């Protein structure tokens, strides 16, 4: 990619998309197009809001996508609906699968030079405890999976299909992404929960990665002639207890001290059911997410380190930086914050 090539970022105002956008501008790319919805919150893109071209569009509206894509050189597809609320099942499938299909079809039609899909480790089937996962781990239709995981897997299949039809594609699969953002949603809400006091912890192990490392991986793939490959993007494999303890200590809170057991898990699910059905609150946990959080999954990022040359930030540093911003945000009604890129 040349610095003046026209690059489209979807989901540009979201958690990962906003860091990709800021990193592109920081690296000197000066012809960036940012796609958003009409009512998207702009808090995370304030530093670059006047340095990109903003376009309101819907991935389910093919005509609007066609109009945007016709003069684009590369696409970073970071838009996705993330929800574990069963009421969103049909919508999450439609947005994540059909939206991705529409986008890659338009890219095929207009001979895009590079298409990068920001996917997830959710596409790797979790078949049991103490599982090691890398780029070769396959999807298992018989393994239990959340609707979100299924939607991300099928969205990936649309990208692979487009790759087989001639679109130069690359895919990244980030683990649990940490960093500052909107404190009431996504993984940034973990910091807010620990700020409020979180006595419970799941017994499992998972992969964790700094959101800035995810953005760096996107830029490296834009700049390297790598196509038809995927990369696990994971900084460290840590237990939830280790991560929650680091958060609590950095926030000056008591670390969690009660391990989740089957009774507490069912109690948490019942509480979520009450909040959903009687108070209209979004369902942020599910049986599937709690089940996975009790198991040990180890994600191998060797390929991203060796092929991309990606250097990961220590998760402890990420947590400490983000917690400083949480403490600042607490003085201002928890307004959104973002980590500096350097």
Q: Which of 237, 238, 195, 233 is nearest to 217 (CA)?
A: 233
Please, are residues 27 and 67 in contact by the beta-carbon 8 Å criterion?
Answer: no
DSSP secondary structure letter of residue 331:
G
Yes or no: say if 168 and 115 are a contact pair by the CB < 8 Å rule: yes
Whether the pTM exceeds 0.85: the reply is yes
Strands laid side by side in the 205-210 sheet = 176-178, 205-210, 236-239
Give the other-Cβ count within 10 Å of 286's Cβ. 18
Domain 7-177+208-236+299-312 falls under CATH 1.10.3720.10 = no
Q: Are the CB atoms for 3 and 29 separated by under 8 Å?
A: yes
Q: With beta carbons less than 8 A apart as the criterion, state whether 252 and 323 touch.
A: no
Q: Which residue carries 């239709």 as its tokens?
A: 141
pLDDT of residue 287: 61
Q: 270 pairs with which residues across the strands?
A: none
List the end-to-end C-alpha distance of the chain, in Å, as a whole number.
Answer: 22
Element (H, E) at 281: none
Q: Are 6 and 107 in contact (CB under 8 A)?
A: no
- The residues spanned by each domain of the chain are 7-177+208-236+299-312
Residue 193 CA to residue 196 CA, distance in Å, equals 5
**pLDDT tens, the chain, 342 aa long:** 889 999 999 999 999 999 999 999 999 999 999 999 888 999 999 999 999 999 999 999 999 999 999 899 999 999 999 887 777 889 999 999 999 999 999 999 999 999 999 999 999 988 777 899 999 998 988 888 889 999 999 999 999 999 999 999 999 999 999 999 999 888 999 999 899 998 888 889 999 999 999 999 999 999 999 999 999 999 999 999 999 999 999 999 999 998 877 655 555 654 554 445 444 555 555 666 767 788 899 999 999 999 999 999 999 999 999 999 999 999 999 999 999 998
């Amino acid at each position: 990619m040349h610095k003046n090539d026209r690059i489209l970022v979807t989901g540009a105002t979201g958690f990962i998309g906003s860091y990709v956008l800021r990193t592109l501008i920081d690296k000197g790319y000066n012809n960036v197009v940012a796609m958003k919805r009409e009512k998207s919150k702009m808090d995370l893109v304030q530093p670059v809001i006047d340095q990109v071209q903003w376009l309101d569009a819907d991935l389910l509206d093919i005509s609007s996508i066609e109009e945007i894509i016709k003069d684009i050189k590369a696409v970073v597809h970071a838009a996705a609906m993330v929800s574990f609320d069963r009421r969103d099942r049909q919508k999450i499938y439609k947005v994540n699968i059909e939206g991705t299909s529409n986008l890659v079809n338009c890219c095929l039609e207009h001979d895009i030079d590079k298409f990068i899909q920001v996917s997830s480790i959710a596409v790797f089937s979790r078949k049991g405890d103490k599982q090691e996962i890398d780029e070769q781990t396959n999807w298992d239709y018989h393994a239990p999976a959340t609707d979100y995981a299924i939607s991300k897997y099928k969205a990936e299949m649309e990208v692979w299909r487009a790759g087989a039809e001639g679109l130069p594609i690359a895919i990244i699969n980030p683990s649990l992404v940490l960093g500052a953002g909107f404190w009431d949603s996504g993984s940034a809400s973990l910091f807010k929960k620990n700020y409020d006091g979180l006595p419970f912890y799941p017994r499992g192990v998972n992969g964790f990665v700094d959101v800035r490392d995810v953005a760096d991986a996107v830029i490296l793939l834009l700049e390297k002639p790598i196509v038809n490959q995927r990369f696990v993007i994971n900084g460290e494999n840590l237990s939830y207890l280790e991560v929650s303890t680091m958060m609590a200590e950095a926030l000056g809170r008591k670390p969690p001290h009660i391990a989740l057991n089957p009774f507490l898990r069912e109690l948490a699910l019942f509480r979520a059911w009450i909040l959903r059905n009687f108070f209209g609150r979004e369902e942020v946990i599910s049986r599937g997410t709690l089940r996975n959080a009790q198991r040990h999954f180890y994600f191998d990022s060797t390929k991203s380190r060796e092929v991309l040359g990606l250097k990961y930030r220590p998760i402890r540093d990420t947590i400490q930086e983000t917690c400083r911003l949480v403490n600042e945000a607490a003085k201002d009604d928890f307004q959104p914050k973002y980590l500096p890129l350097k």
